[in-house]
Amino acid sequence: MEASSQQVPLYSQYMLNGFLLNPAVAGSEGYTAINLTAREQWIGLKNAPGTYALSFQTRVMKKSHISRGASVRKRKSSGSSGGKVGLGGYVFNDRNGAVSRIGIKGTYAYHLNFRHSQLSFGLSLVAYQFRLDDDLIHLLDPGDELWLGTHKAVFIPDADFGVYYTAKNYWAGISVDQLFESTLKIGDSGYDRYLMERNYYLIGGYDFELNRDLIFSPSTLLKYAESGKFQADVSGKFYFQQSYWAGLTYRTGQTIIILVGVSYDKFIFGYAYDIGLNSIMKYSYGTHEFTFIAKFGDNARRYRWLNRF
């Protein structure tokens, strides 16, 4: 008998933190940003998948922005030059039944600035640890030699690479993860050739300014695995006064995703509710994903053309 499942974490709010999918995003906005994402899949099912991710990214500036006060009412700001290097880090815990994966990434990105756009390249070095939970595995034969020969924890290194382009009203990127296609040896025989296949991601979006307060932002995420599996997220969001948003996503495989969020000062809160249009909804209460982002630093004077979020 043969079984298959997703090898990498799944995120519904990819447009809020593209760094989770593309290392070239690290530092592309000029902000220092901390992102926390919690995703609980198929609520109501025992031992259902869940993902928890914490990421950090920043831009290494040549000079900091200095504000010099000429008077209480009028302030004069000195110029600031942005550096070309972005740095990032990403840790996550992805569990799926008896199998869990803890990962850590360190990212270096390089940004080429043009007059009204930016082209970025990024490379991540990655380390994973896979674990099997004995307490969640029940064997018909407790003395099964195949199971007794498995390794309950396996460590593998890997790498990700991406390219990202941003302009005033649109953005696009392409990336690939698990470049090394490492073989995961979880057993002495039988389960000793589990391949970590490459996954390719294409993301992009465009902002249509409908009026002074309302922006419509369609976006898409295309994912292709070397095994031939394909998945697409097609999204549409409305932003009101650049502080509130709501939208919908259709994911191939019969899933509708409701997106809502709010931005206050330098803090962003996002929520996604995945509704499966298949038989699994008879047994679960859907999937919930929460995102919190804190951004520090002022990039408004340096990068006026960048996306709001």
Query: DSSP 3-state helix, strand, coil percentages of the chain (rounded to 5)?
Result: 5, 55, 40
DSSP 136: G
- Please give the CATH architecture assigned to the domain spanning 18-67+79-296: Beta Barrel (2.40)
Q: Which amino acid is at 290?
A: F
Structure token digits, residue 262: 């709010």
What does each C-alpha distance from 76 to 31, 69, 79, 213, 303 come to in angstroms? 22, 6, 10, 29, 18
Contact indicator for 248, 259 with CB cutoff of 8 Å: yes
Provide the pLDDT for residue 76.
33
Element (H, E) at 161: strand 153-167
Q: How far apart are CA 29 and CA 97, in angstroms?
A: 37
Beta-strand relationship, 170-177 and 267-276: unpaired
Contact indicator for 211, 239 with CB cutoff of 8 Å: no
Nearest Cα residue to 49 out of 4, 94, 104: 94
Q: Burial, 19: exposed, middle or buried (Cβ in 10 Å; 0-12, 13-18, 19+)?
A: buried
Regarding pTM above 0.85, the answer is no
Contact indicator for 107, 26 with CB cutoff of 8 Å: yes
Contact indicator for 219, 202 with CB cutoff of 8 Å: no
Per-residue pLDDT of the chain (309 residues; tens, 9 = 90+): 344 445 577 899 999 989 999 999 999 988 899 999 999 888 777 778 889 999 999 998 765 433 333 323 333 333 334 689 999 999 999 887 767 888 999 999 999 999 889 999 999 999 988 777 666 566 665 655 555 556 567 788 999 999 999 998 999 999 999 999 877 766 555 555 667 889 999 999 999 999 999 999 999 999 999 888 999 999 999 999 889 999 999 999 889 999 999 999 889 999 999 998 876 767 777 899 999 999 987 554 344 434 444
Provide the pLDDT for residue 24.
97
